[in-house]
Amino acid sequence: MELIGMDAAPIEVLLVEDSPGDVRLTQEAFKDAKVHINLHVASDGAKAMAFLKHEGEYANAPRPDLILLDLNLPKKDGREVLAEIKDDPKLRSIPVVVLTTSSSEADILRSYMLHANSYITKPVDLEGFLTVVKSIDSFWLSVVKLPREVSA
């Protein structure tokens, strides 16, 4: 878990991603972000759920405003994580953006069936990737109104 951001009212983003390279690229891309972002990283599905449920080392973890979720993860994969989040009344209002290398139609359909809030295929080139992260920043973190924490 790393913290990026410097302002008093940061936006909490949980990145569920096992590839350190992708984590780093995402961090680099968010450096130019318009808002202050606290980027938290969980490197597998189990850690992601623990983070969301404040378990173990994540007891004091904040509730994220946005989740960026890779699908192919060790231990518990992204599809299961997505299903659990959307099945949990406390968590389901958190927008989940699937960010994965898979462009398979089956994965796309399945993700939306599991109530993913959007699905993005990682572009293979750097410029494309930077553009995508910038778009997430400008859309999900600036344009969109996100819900406050619900206590259901």
CB 118 within 8 A of CB 15: no
Q: What is d(CA 139, CA 152) in angstroms, rounded to the nearest whole number?
A: 27
Among 96, 129, 132, 141, binds another protein (CB under 8 A): 129
CB of residue 63 vs another protein: minimum separation in angstroms? 31
Residues 26-65 that bind another protein (CB under 8 A): 28
Local structure of residue 73 (DSSP, 8 states)? -
Matching residue, tokens 């359909």: 109
Of the candidate residues 113, 126, 144, 150, the single one contacting another protein (CB under 8 A):
126
| Position 127 contacts another protein (CB under 8 A) | yes
Q: Kindly state whether residue 23 participates in binding another protein, applying the rule CB under 8 A.
A: no
Helix (H/G/I), strand (E/B), else coil: 12: strand
Q: Which is nearer to another protein, 16 or 52 (CB)?
A: 16
Q: Residue 18 is which amino acid? A: D
The minimum distance between CB 100 and another protein, in angstroms, equals 11
Helix count (H) and strand count (E) of the chain? 5, 5
| Interaction mask 90-119, another protein, x per CB under 8 A | -----------x------------------
Contact call for residues 69 and 42 (beta carbons, < 8 A): no
- The residues binding another protein (CB under 8 A) are 19, 21, 25, 28, 101, 122, 124-127, 129
